[in-house]
Amino acid sequence: MNDNSKENKLGKPSEEESDEWMVTYADAMTLVLGFFVLILSMSVIQQSKFEVISKGIDEGLLKKQPTAQLSPLADLHKNLSDTLVEHQMIPDEAIESGENYLKIDLPGRILFATASADLNPKSLELVEEIAKKIKNFPLDNFDVEIEGHTDNVPIHCERFASNWELSSSRAISVLQVFLDAGWDKHKLKAIGYADSFPKVANLDEQGHAIPENQQQNRRVEIKISKKYI
């Protein structure tokens, strides 16, 4: 009996049998490699899906931007600017607008004579054009508020006992033009604020009057605001 036979009889593995674990190990490594390849391929697929979704979101947002620019107030702003230029006014100084409002500041000196609430012929033409242009825009969910403002100099005359009455009468005079243009009275409001809301200070630090500022504070503001019900 040779040595190998002796070893087998003693229970020791043969050289062929001792290499069988290598096959099992190779199979296991192949499975692990296959698993990672599968994971990698799935991650690539998910990445491609993410890129598609991201592109779709970006395109959707870009499509929404032009819609926001189609606000009737933006077009109204432009039309009113043209009207103000025709009447020798500077639109950037007279018009203020936001997403849900537009305000037109009309200086009192071009609308009324001193201590008067009667629109002169030229200012009447200006207010008529403004009223008509606003009315021609689709502003169903907007209201118009007309505010009268004065400076801080008290007024005492036969017609007006105070700046409250003067500012209210001036606001009503402008509102009447809107009514004559066919506006629904339920969408209009007139308010007199006297000198309660000055644009700039009427007086300097020493308490002296600032004529230029007082002139700016004498004004009528037409506000177009979105209704929140």
How do residues 154-209 score in pLDDT, each as one tens digit? 998 889 999 999 999 999 999 999 999 999 999 999 999 999 999 999 999 999 99
Which residues, in sequence order, are CB contacts of 171 under 8 Å at separation 6+?
Answer: 146, 147, 148, 190, 191, 192, 220
pLDDT band at residue 69, thresholds of 50, 70 and 90?
Answer: very low
For residue 108, which of 100, 118, 98 has the smallest C-alpha distance?
118
47 and 89 inside one domain: no
Residue 213 forms part of a structural domain: yes
56 and 123 inside one domain: no
Strands 188-192 and 142-149: parallel
Give the model's pLDDT for residue 167.
Answer: 97
The answer to whether the predicted template modeling score (pTM) of the entire model surpasses 0.75 is no
Mean pLDDT, residues 49-72 taken together? 56
37 and 92 inside one domain: no
86 and 191 inside one domain: yes
Number of domains in the chain: 2
Residue 44 Cα distances to 47, 54, 164, 221, angstroms: 5, 15, 74, 61
Give the model's pLDDT for residue 66.
Answer: 46
Residue 105 forms part of a structural domain: yes
> Could you tell me the residue range of the domain that residue 192 belongs to?
72-226
Give the model's pLDDT for residue 99.
Answer: 83
CATH code of the domain containing 107: 3.30.1330.60
Give the model's pLDDT for residue 16.
Answer: 55
Residue 1 forms part of a structural domain: no
Q: Is 2 helix (H, G, I), strand (E, B) or coil?
A: coil
127 and 221 inside one domain: yes
Residue 6 forms part of a structural domain: no
Residue 3 forms part of a structural domain: no
Residue 62 forms part of a structural domain: yes
Residue 199 forms part of a structural domain: yes
